[in-house]
Amino acid sequence: MNSNKKASAGERILVTGGAGYIGSHVVRDLGENGYRPVVLDNLSSGHAEAVLCGEFIRGDVADCDLLGSLMRKFAIRSVMHFAAFIQVGESVAQPLKYYENNSFNCLQLIKACLANGVENFIFSSTAAVYGMPEKVPVDEKALLLPINPYGGSKLVSEMLLRDAAAANPGFRYVALRYFNAAGADRQARLGQNYLQPTHLLTRALKTALGRFPKLEVFGTDYPTPDGTAIRDYIHVDDLAGAHLLALEFLKAEKQSRTFNCGYGIGHSVLDVVAAAKRVTGIDFPVVHADRRPGDPAALVADAGLIRRKLGWNPSVPHLDEIVASAWKWEKKLALKDAPRRRAPG
Catalogue the active-site residues: 150
Q: Which of 132, 23, 137 is nearest to 86 (CA)?
A: 23
Q: Which of 67, 72, 41 is nearest to 55 (CA)?
A: 41
Residues whose CB is less than 8 angstroms from the CB of residue 190 and which lie 6 or more positions away in sequence, other chains included: 21, 24, 25, 28, 50, 52, 184, 329
Of the CA atoms within 13 Å of residue 52, those in its CB half-sphere come to 19
Spatial separation of the C-alpha atoms in residues 294 and 229, rounded to whole Å: 12
Q: Which of 163, 244, 234 is nearest to 201 (CA)?
A: 234
Q: 196: burial class by Cβ within 10 Å (0-12, 13-18, 19+)?
A: exposed
Which phi and psi (to 5°) does residue 287 adopt? -125, 150
Strand partners, 268: 230
Which phi and psi (to 5°) does residue 153 adopt? -65, -35
